[in-house]
C-alpha cells in the first residue's frame, strides 16, 4: 500500500488550519516544478517512521517516489532527509519501532488467533497459531499503528528540521 501525500502549488496561500505547521517547498526532479506542502501531509512526509512511498507534484500533477523530490531550500532529497531524521532520532524511537512494537504486535496477534480458535472450537495447534498470529498482525501494527502511538507519546518534530 502506498500513501499519497497531496500538496498545493507553491504559489497558493496556506489556509488557517495549515498555518499551524509551517509549509516547505520541494522540487520534482523529473519536471523541475515546485510544490508547497504543509499541515498533516508535511508531518507525515517528514516523519521517518511513517510509511510514505510517494508524493504528488502539483506542477505536472503526477505521483512519484519520494527519492525523486528535493527540498528547495536545502537541495537535499526527501528520501535522504528521511534517512537522516531516522539516524538522528532518539534511541527510544528506534527501540519502539524495531523492538517493542513488533513484540507487542506478535503477542496481540498470537492471542487474537488463539481467541478465534477457541471461539470456532477448533483443536489446539500452536504450530499454526504462532506463525499465523505473527504474520497477520505484526506487519499491520508496525506499519500503521506503531508510528501513530510513537507520535502521540513523544510528538517528534521531524517536520521542523531542515
**Is pLDDT larger for residue 89 or for residue 26?**
26
On whether the pTM is more than 0.85, the answer is: no
- Dihedral (Cα; 8, 12, 13, 15), 10-degree rounding: -40
Region 9-33: mean pLDDT is 67
Tell whether the model's pLDDT for residue 1 goes beyond 80. Answer: no
pLDDT of residue 50: 83
Average pLDDT, the chain: 82
Q: Check pLDDT > 60 for residue 86.
A: yes
Say yes or no to pLDDT of 12 above 60: no
Domain residue ranges of the chain, discontinuous segments joined by +? 4-86, 90-155
Average pLDDT of the residues in 9-24: 51
pLDDT, one tens digit per residue, over 54-74 is: 999 999 999 999 999 999 999
User: Which segments of the chain are extended strands (E)?
Assistant: 4-5, 8-9, 24-28, 34-37, 54-57, 62-65, 69-71
Amino acid at each position: 500500500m502506498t500513501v499519497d501525500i497531496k500538496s498545493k502549488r507553491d504559489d497558493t496561500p496556506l489556509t488557517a488550519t495549515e498555518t499551524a505547521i509551517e509549509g516547505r517547498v520541494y522540487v520534482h526532479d523529473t519536471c523541475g516544478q515546485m510544490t508547497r506542502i504543509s499541515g498533516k501531509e508535511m508531518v507525515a512526509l517528514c516523519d521517518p517512521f511513517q510509511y510514505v512511498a510517494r508524493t504528488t507534484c502539483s506542477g505536472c500533477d503526477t505521483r512519484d517516489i519520494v527519492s525523486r523530490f528535493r527540498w528547495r531550500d536545502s537541495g537535499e532529497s526527501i528520501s535522504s532527509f528521511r534517512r537522516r531524521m531516522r539516524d538522528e532520532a532518539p534511541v527510544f524511537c528506534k527501540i519502539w519501532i524495531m523492538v517493542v512494537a513488533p513484540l507487542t504486535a506478535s503477542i496481540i496477534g498470537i492471542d487474537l488467533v488463539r481467541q478465534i480458535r477457541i471461539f470456532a472450537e477448533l483443536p489446539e495447534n500452536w504450530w499454526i497459531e504462532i506463525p499465523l498470529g505473527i504474520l497477520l498482525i505484526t506487519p499491520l501494527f508496525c506499519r500503521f499503528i506503531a508510528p501513530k502511538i510513537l507520535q502521540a507519546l513523544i510528538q517528534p518534530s521531524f517536520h521542523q528540521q531542515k
